[in-house]
């Protein structure tokens, strides 16, 4: 099944954007300053990568955090053409001001689907936020810390554990090879 599903297209990326843990913290603080005036009551973090900024935002803004899972992946491999719900939003969103957080808006589809679902569930106000968005993301999230068309190198997914050894994440290694081939 996985070989029939199109993986993420990294050919549109231009260069590399190195994100350290310190830069991550600064970007989330920047996002928090944007989001604060919107006064969310509940934060939904899209697992997995979106839980990093969502957790920090929930702590900084002192709001409740609920994880949701909407993804094309299973066991870190792209297996679906479209994002699918694995963990839906809680009923607590009804009548509340909700902020949905993910780490990146590539196509923008995942965060848009999450917002559609939360609106359907009766949230009174729904906004979306991401650490990073590509210029082609449509729809664009309401709040963005960094707009970049580069290949984003997050500190949490650079390496994976394989047979007792930490190695560069295979998807990242392939994307980096593609970037270097395209720029050569």
Q: Strands of the chain (E only): list them.
A: 16-18, 42-47, 64-71, 73-74, 77-78, 84-87, 97-105, 125-133, 143-147, 151-153, 159-162, 165-168
Tens of pLDDT along the chain (184 residues)? 434 555 566 777 888 899 999 999 999 999 999 999 999 999 999 999 999 999 999 999 999 999 999 988 888 778 888 889 999 999 999 999 999 999 999 888 999 999 999 999 999 999 999 999 999 999 999 999 999 999 999 999 999 999 999 999 888 888 888 877 766 6
pTM: 0.91
């Amino acid at each position: 099944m996985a070989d029939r599903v199109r993986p993420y297209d990294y050919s549109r990326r231009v260069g590399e954007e190195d994100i350290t843990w310190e830069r991550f913290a600064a970007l989330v603080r920047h996002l928090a300053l944007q989001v604060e005036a919107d006064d969310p009551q509940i934060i939904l973090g899209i697992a997995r990568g979106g839980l990093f900024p969502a957790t920090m935002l929930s702590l900084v803004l002192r709001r409740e955090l609920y994880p949701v899972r909407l993804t094309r992946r299973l066991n870190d491999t792209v297996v679906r053409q479209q994002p699918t719900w694995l963990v839906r939003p809680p009923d607590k969103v009804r009548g509340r001001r909700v902020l949905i957080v993910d780490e990146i808006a590539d196509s923008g589809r995942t965060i848009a689907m999450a917002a559609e679902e939360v609106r359907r569930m009766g949230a009174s106000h729904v906004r979306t936020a991401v650490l990073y968005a590509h210029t082609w993301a449509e729809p664009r999230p309401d709040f963005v810390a960094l707009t970049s068309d580069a290949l984003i190198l997050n500190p949490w997914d650079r390496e994976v554990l394989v047979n007792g050894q930490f190695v560069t994440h295979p998807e990242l290694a392939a994307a980096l090879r593609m970037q270097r081939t395209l720029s050569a």
